[in-house]
Amino acid sequence: MSEKTEKTEPRLSVFKTYKLYVGGKFPRSESGRVYEVTDSKGKWLANAPRSSRKDARDAVVAARKAFGGWSGATAYNRGQILYRVAEMLEGRREQFVREVADAEGLTKPKAAAVVDATIDRWVWYAGWTDKIAQVTGGANPVAGPYFNLSSPEPTGVVAVLAPQESSFLGLVSVVAPVIATGNTAVVIASERSPLPALSLAEVLATSDVPGGVVNVLSGRTAEIAAPLAAHQDVNAIDLAGADEALAKELEIAAADNLKRVLRPQAVDYFETPGIERMTAFLETKTVWHPTGSLGASGSSY
Amino acid sequence: MASVFEYAPAPESRSVVDIAPSYGLFIDGEFAEAADGKVFKTVSPSTEEVLSEVAQAGEADVDRAVKAARKAFEKWSALPGSERAKFLFRIARIIQERSRELAVLETLDNGKPIKETRDADLPLVAAHFFYYAGWADKLDHAGFGANPRPLGVAGQVIPWNFPLLMLAWKIAPALATGNTVVLKPAETTPLSALFFADICRQAGLPKGVVNILPGYGDAGAALVAHPDVNKVAFTGSTAVGKEIARTVAGTRKKLTLELGGKGANIVFDDAPIDQAVEGIVTGIFFNQGQVCCAGSRLLVQESIQDELLDSLKRRLSTLRLGDPLDKNTDIGAINSAEQLARITALAERGEAEGAERWSPACELPGSGYWFAPTLFTNVTQAHTIARDEIFGPVLSVLTFRTPDEAVAKANNTQYGLSAGIWTEKGSRILAVANKLRAGVVWSNTFNKFDPTSPFGGYKESGFGREGGRHGLEAYLDV
């Protein structure tokens, strides 16, 4: 019987078509190009979109459009949404363990440790959204009758070159601090291992993170980064995923509109981070107002 | 408008300051000639009188100064913070003692009115050293982690508009955090920095901790590019700031930039008009408008435009321009012939593009570099004078109808240093301040400074903050 023969044949699996994540949607690359992504042993895993300059520019437009709403959201609200991302990641834990194991050539237990650390990292940053202002801002005791407050504000659209080696934990460690403080991000996934990043986009899309807040591009890091570093509507760039030569080239391009630049540095992504990845993309605004106070001798009870 | 009262001249005495006929570079605690023997003259902008001849630093001198600073760094950074603090307190006190001398000197060399150097610059200079002195032994509590480390040798390049104040902003936090310094003052205003070298000597500061290199842009460029400099701090034009950012690209040098601005001063229809007028005058005519955070764009709500402009013109007619050493002078000289030419050209461009130019009746002295306070109306956002930093006593007036329009116009600039808001409505102040992309927002006041208060820009006005707890970060390895 035909039913019986079907059971003896191994089932043909359904491949996933990986796509970019721009403005809350999942487009293919404008260029129509893809590149082969393999595991650490060279086995073909999938074709990933190879983004073009136009994809990068579209992502900046989406990130700019999202900036007003995201930076204007309450810190509490942003914290809720970031925590929601962690919840959704937890639900897809097995999928990410498989993808990280494939991407980085790790054993299942080691990949599981990476995914757990990644989920915990989201939770860590979810808790920062409504505390960073208290840690980095404050009242300044100026010598005069003025009320004077300094508060941090997001710097705007941040281009993020995700680390090349740590395709998931490293990625989240550089993206979460950028958006926790109200910036929006255009992220270039690890060139060799982009799949966990493209799958993370699916989590973000279903986690109440507004479209455009995080945009994920895959492809050649140097090719996509160049137009982003030179883009006049990008306010900052994190060079984590650039090698020394590329980092220098991009930093020079970034000087044209005085982008804030975070240079590449050696980081152990398993360690609890400091707040530097957040403060690197924050401005300090100081607001003055006369108090009308008369000084110690001018009033009495 | 004829003046109701004639003022008798009230000049400050020049006798409190002895300017030597020549000065050297200050390297490793000694005054020295430039390696190639070059010198340049510094003149008084109000009279064009040559004040002194100053050694002109070149690349070899930069190298020598950086070496001296590197050598001094070892001991200076190892000193207990409490000892560094005492040096800075000493410097603050000596500045207070010598403040009249320094005020007169600064006015002679820069051209700004004595009432500004005496009542604004010098008190702030002393206050900055006093403030950062107190941080030197409390760095563990500054919020940058326990035991934050200094960076090493700081190369600092400062402008001519506030020569001594910019020096204080740069040197005080650098020394408090344990760095050593090579500072290049601007070529038109080197004298107060050289007097500061003498203050370092009086305070007994170890040799090489502070080095002063008068010179031109080439010396600044050599300092910024020097491979043994760990930190670069620059205040000046946006164009030069971008050049510096390119120079330090790919290095580990930490960089902070305080660059240009095109500040919006927004006056709503419920603003206290008389106070707003004073704030507008302070915003653009303080230091002849040669201020990076000057409120050079007046955004006035359409319904009160006529009333406000009448008041403003009446007020401008009472400003007195002339001898900067006269205690009654409001508007002093432009810092240099070059700067005067730049201001003149931009103002002419404003006229050529169709904006309406107005100045009060104002007699300009026969010698020196002078520019009458100037106001442009009928200015649109497309006008060059509404977009480019003029860095002179030139105010562009634009109008708006709604708060949203005011915010959009205020933010429509490559710069993001300062802004002002004038309204009696508290919620409007906060709502507008929240939306302005600027590092400093003054509400119902303008151009206020304090060492405890961080200052610095968004966008192309640079990055990093100077002053306050935030100002420490620029000089620490964090």
Q: What is the mean pLDDT of residues B393-405?
A: 98
Q: What is the mean pLDDT of residues B400-418?
A: 98
pLDDT at position B310: 98
Paired tokens of A224: 């996509």
Is the pLDDT at A301 greater than 60, yes or no?
no
For tokens 């603090």, the residue is B85
For tokens 């508009």, the residue is B161
Paired tokens of A139: 């009242």
Please name every residue paired with A265 in a beta bridge, in sequence order, or none if there are none.
Answer: none
What integer best gives the mean pLDDT of chain A?
95
CB contact under 8 A, B460 and A258: yes
Paired tokens of A138: 């404050």
Query: Which sign does the torsion angle of CA B232, B238, B242, B244 carry?
Result: negative
Quick: pLDDT tens for A41-70: 999 999 999 999 999 999 999 999 999 999
Is the pLDDT at B227 greater than 50, yes or no?
yes
Quick: pLDDT tens for B318-344: 999 999 999 999 999 999 999 999 999
How many degrees, rounded to 5, is the angle at CA B463 between CA B460 and CA B467? 130
Helix %, strand %, coil % of chain B (to 5): 40, 15, 40
pLDDT at position B472: 98
Please name every residue paired with B372 in a beta bridge, in sequence order, or none if there are none.
Answer: none
DSSP code of residue A255 = G
Give how far B83 is from chain A: nearest CA, Å: 25
List of residues 6+ apart from B322 with CB closer than 8 A: B329, B331, B365
Paired tokens of B276: 């707003």
For residues B203 and A4, what is the distance between their CA atoms, to the nearest angstrom? 97
The interface residues of chain A toward chain B in range 276-295, judged by CB-CB distance below 8 A, are 276, 283-290
Quick: pLDDT tens for A110-168: 999 999 999 999 999 999 999 999 999 999 999 999 999 999 999 999 999 999 999 99
Strand residue runs (E) in B143-274: 153-157, 180-184, 210-212, 231-235, 254-258, 264-267
Q: pLDDT-derived band of residue B4, with 50, 70 and 90 as boundaries?
A: low
Quick: pLDDT tens for A163-188: 999 999 999 999 999 999 999 999 99
pLDDT at position B6: 78
CA nearest to B275 within chain A = A290
Q: What is the mean pLDDT of residues B10-28?
A: 97
List of residues 6+ apart from A280 with CB closer than 8 A: A236, A238, A260, A262
Pairing of strands B153-157, A214-217: unpaired
Q: What ipTM is given for this predicted complex?
A: 0.95
Give how far B58 is from chain A: nearest CA, Å: 26
CB contact under 8 A, B448 and A288: yes
Nearest CB to B442; choose among A247, A257, A288: A288
pLDDT at position A13: 92
For residues A189 and B315, what is the distance between their CA atoms, to the nearest angstrom? 59
Please name every residue paired with B235 in a beta bridge, in sequence order, or none if there are none.
Answer: B258
pLDDT at position A292: 84
CA distances for B360 relative to B3, B168, B312, B403, angstroms = 12, 35, 11, 31
Give how far B223 is from chain A: nearest CA, Å: 19
CB contact under 8 A, B478 and A260: no
Q: What is the mean pLDDT of residues A203-213?
A: 97
For residues A45 and A39, what is the distance between their CA atoms, to the nearest angstrom? 6
The interface residues of chain A toward chain B in range 190-219, judged by CB-CB distance below 8 A, are none
pLDDT at position A293: 76
For tokens 């604004």, the residue is B120
Q: What percent of chain B has pLDDT above 70?
A: 99
CB of B414 closer than 8 Å to CB of B242: no
Quick: pLDDT tens for B247-275: 999 999 999 999 999 999 999 999 999 99
CB contact under 8 A, B443 and A283: no
pLDDT at position A294: 61
Q: pLDDT-derived band of residue B1, with 50, 70 and 90 as boundaries?
A: very low
For residues A22 and A59, what is the distance between their CA atoms, to the nearest angstrom? 6
pLDDT at position B115: 97
List of residues 6+ apart from A13 with CB closer than 8 A: none
Is the pLDDT at A7 greater than 90, yes or no?
no
Paired tokens of B382: 């497309």
Q: What is the mean pLDDT of residues B230-235?
A: 98
Q: What is the mean pLDDT of residues A265-290?
A: 97
CB contact under 8 A, A150 and B127: no
Quick: pLDDT tens for A220-254: 999 999 999 999 999 999 999 999 999 999 999 99
Please name every residue paired with A236 in a beta bridge, in sequence order, or none if there are none.
Answer: A158, A260
Is the pLDDT at B32 greater than 90, yes or no?
yes
For residues A35 and B61, what is the distance between their CA atoms, to the nearest angstrom? 54
CA nearest to B426 within chain A = A289
CB of B390 closer than 8 Å to CB of B341: no
CB contact under 8 A, B257 and A244: no
Give catalytic residues of B, as residue numbers. 258, 292
Exposure of A73 in the CB half-sphere (CA atoms within 13 A)? 24
How many degrees, rounded to 5, is the angle at CA B307 between CA B304 and CA B311? 135
Quick: pLDDT tens for B157-185: 999 999 999 999 999 999 999 999 999 99
Paired tokens of A23: 């403005």
What integer best gives the mean pLDDT of chain B?
97
Quick one: which H or E segment has residue A160?
A: strand A157-161
pLDDT at position B117: 98
Helices and strands: H and E segment counts in chain B: 16, 17
Q: pLDDT-derived band of residue A6, with 50, 70 and 90 as boundaries?
A: low
pLDDT at position A257: 97
Q: What percent of chain A has pLDDT above 90?
A: 93
